[in-house]
Amino acid sequence: MISKWGEMDRFPQQLSRRKNNLIYVMIALWLLVGYRFFDLQVLRYDRYWNRARSNSIRQVTRPAPRGIIYDRNGQPLVDNSPIYDLKIIPVDVTEDFNFELLARHLQISPDSITAILNNHNRGVSRFHPQLIKRHVRLEVMAQLQESRLEFPGLFFSELPARIYPDSARLSHAMGYLRTLTDNVLDQADPALNYHLSDVYGAAGLEMTYEPLLRGTDGVAYHLVDILGRELEEPPGASYYPPVAGQDLVLTIDARLQLRAETLLGGRPGAAVAMDPANGDVLVFASSPDYDLKSFTGPIPVDLWNEWNTGKSRPLLNRVINGTYPPGSVLKPVAAALALEKEVVSTDWTVTCNGAYTFGNRTFHCWELNGHGPMDMHHAIKHSCNIYFYHLIQRLSFADWGAMARGFGYGSPSGIDLPYENAGVVPTEEYMDAKYTSRGWADGNLLNIVIGQGDMLATPLQVVQMTSLIATSGQAYHPHLNRDHQPEPMILDLKDSTWRIIQKAMWAVVNADHGTGRRAASSGPGVVSGKTGTAQNPHGEPHSWFTGYITMPNDQQLAVAVLIENGGKGSVEAAMLAGELFDLYNLLFQESHVQ
């Protein structure tokens, strides 16, 4: 074999031609490749430079902090605190990853985490952060960040969210935020410049004052890597800082509000209080309420279903959307009409023996034994039905309806909240439409005048009426935003009319045998009011009380309390109102001692 090596001389052919040809082929190949690079890097440089830039420079939205909402004394009722979505980048996960510990922090099973990662361990998706848990609270995130080394690939993205201090809840008035969906985005005001996955006010004040509270998102340009992780800002990049939303100062007094919420204690009902002199709403409580914290994140289906279908319907804003027969708290309307039209004199008397027969029906007074002889003052003080059965027959139904509307019934108060109900003030046309013209008779009017039957009102309308009475017709429509220009609510009646009603309502609370004595307060303010016990088809009557307190400096507070199926107005509702008046007195004294 060795010998053969020596024989392996050069090829007999002329090799230099073959060498040159091979080199020409090589030159051709390199020219082809080289031209391609020249083409990309010189001729099409701009295009690829821009493409590389748009790959890596991303417009990053800097969410504007939402306006904070305060009560009238500057106590925050809602503030901002980010929440976090927890994600994991599958490709960065190593053997050191402590799934057990992460699962314990998140209170989910380790298998569910590994299952998500196993679904994304190939292809481009393993480079992208995979969502493990939505809406992780700040405390949990901080704990996880402390043991970062145990979780390679862990990643948080920040979302703006509301936080609610532990004081008055004001759930229904406050409203809540939701994440924007396509539907909402289509209908939204373009001026608000929404992006998908923004949050927006979906109810209550958050909704009404959305343009004010929202602010303007800032824009920054960031260098991001393929995972979308933000790196440093490129030099010379423009930056538009976010403009925070405006703060909102409410007319609510958190101390009174908290007391009202505590007193309602989850019983279905409502309590609302306002300053008649300017329309400031100091208390706006609907019960049962719901924890607004539940809205920072997806609402569990069972909780949502329970809220919507459960008997107590916590999502119902009873103050403006609950329509109830107002019962006897409506009696001042008929009294005012009678006095104004001079249909009866103040000494006109009806004898109440507990029952009244009209046509072939018998109507009862709540006092089955009868009140005896009743004039207007006593009829209001004792809330005698029989007196008003007689009175309504001397009044025109149309005049009565007009007076009821003058007191604010049958139309929304105009409070700065969405979706307010108007209630119902029945008219002849309404009754005809509902029952046909032969289906109802004057007997129905007997029910309507005592706030039963077809008459429906919201608690807010009742407190509006009381405001008018307290101010002799010079009140304001209710509002929750302190900077909202109050709208006057004027009912022009004779001074004597107002005085008679006011005196009777004083007697309800302060005279012997008045029905509203439980609402009395030890002073210095003087309480007047009216009870109501509204029959309804759902069981026990609704318990109503409405009244107002007048302080030595003429400052006033009008209150309406409703407790669904709470029994007599003279008991539960009056007691609750009394407690509110007590606190109001106390706060008045505190502020005037200093």
Binding site for other proteins (CB under 8 A): 1-2, 4-5, 8-13, 15-16, 18-19, 21-23, 26-27, 29-30, 32-34, 36-38, 40-42, 44-45, 47-49, 51-53, 55-56, 123-124, 127, 223-227, 231
CA distance 534 to 455: 11
**Least distance from other proteins to the Cβ atom of residue 20, Å:** 9
**Least distance from other proteins to the Cβ atom of residue 195, Å:** 23
DSSP assignment of 62-103 equals EPPPPPPEE-TTS-EEEEE--EEEEEE-GGG--TT--HHHHH
**Least distance from other proteins to the Cβ atom of residue 259, Å:** 58
Q: Of 22 and 142, which CB lies nearer to other proteins in the complex structure?
A: 22
* 3 state SS of 107: coil
Quote the longest CA-to-CA distance of the chain. 150
**Least distance from other proteins to the Cβ atom of residue 190, Å:** 31
Phi/psi region, residue 223 (left: phi>0; alpha: psi -120 to 50; beta: rest), is: beta
Q: Of 38 and 304, which CB lies nearer to other proteins in the complex structure?
A: 38
Yes or no: say if 535 and 325 are a contact pair by the CB < 8 Å rule. Answer: yes
Q: Of 41 and 437, which CB lies nearer to other proteins in the complex structure?
A: 41
Instruction: Give the pairing of strands 69-70 and 248-249.
Output: parallel
Phi first, then psi, for residue 307 (nearest 5°) are -60, -40
Yes or no: say if 387 and 374 are a contact pair by the CB < 8 Å rule. Answer: yes
Residue 192 Cα distances to 185, 204, 327, angstroms? 10, 18, 45
**Least distance from other proteins to the Cβ atom of residue 235, Å:** 12
CA distance 120 to 129: 10
CA distance 350 to 356: 11
Q: Of 88 and 274, which CB lies nearer to other proteins in the complex structure?
A: 88
Q: Of 58 and 313, which CB lies nearer to other proteins in the complex structure?
A: 58
Q: Which two tokens stand for residue 162?
A: 């509301």
CA distance 41 to 264: 75
Q: Of 11 and 357, which CB lies nearer to other proteins in the complex structure?
A: 11
Q: What residues have CB less than 8 Å from 204, skipping those under 6 apart? A: 172, 173, 174, 175, 176, 317, 417, 418
Q: Of 28 and 586, which CB lies nearer to other proteins in the complex structure?
A: 28
Q: Which two tokens stand for residue 486?
A: 């109050």
Q: What residues have CB less than 8 Å from 411, skipping those under 6 apart? A: 405, 422, 423
Give strand pairing partners of 556. Answer: 550
**Least distance from other proteins to the Cβ atom of residue 478, Å:** 56
**Least distance from other proteins to the Cβ atom of residue 38, Å:** 7
Q: Of 124 and 593, which CB lies nearer to other proteins in the complex structure?
A: 124
**Least distance from other proteins to the Cβ atom of residue 420, Å:** 50
**Least distance from other proteins to the Cβ atom of residue 269, Å:** 57
Q: Which two tokens stand for residue 287?
A: 């019960």
Phi first, then psi, for residue 474 (nearest 5°) are -115, 65
The one-character DSSP state at 473 is T
CA proximity to 331, closest of 385, 374, 373: 385
**Least distance from other proteins to the Cβ atom of residue 118, Å:** 17
**Least distance from other proteins to the Cβ atom of residue 1, Å:** 5
Please give the distance of CA 126 from its chain centroid, rounded to a whole number.
41
**Least distance from other proteins to the Cβ atom of residue 151, Å:** 19
For 207, the enclosing helix (H) or strand (E) is helix 204-208
Q: Of 123 and 190, which CB lies nearer to other proteins in the complex structure?
A: 123
Q: Of 19 and 538, which CB lies nearer to other proteins in the complex structure?
A: 19
Q: Of 21 and 305, which CB lies nearer to other proteins in the complex structure?
A: 21
Helix intervals (H) in 458-521: 459-470, 495-510
Q: Of 29 and 108, which CB lies nearer to other proteins in the complex structure?
A: 29
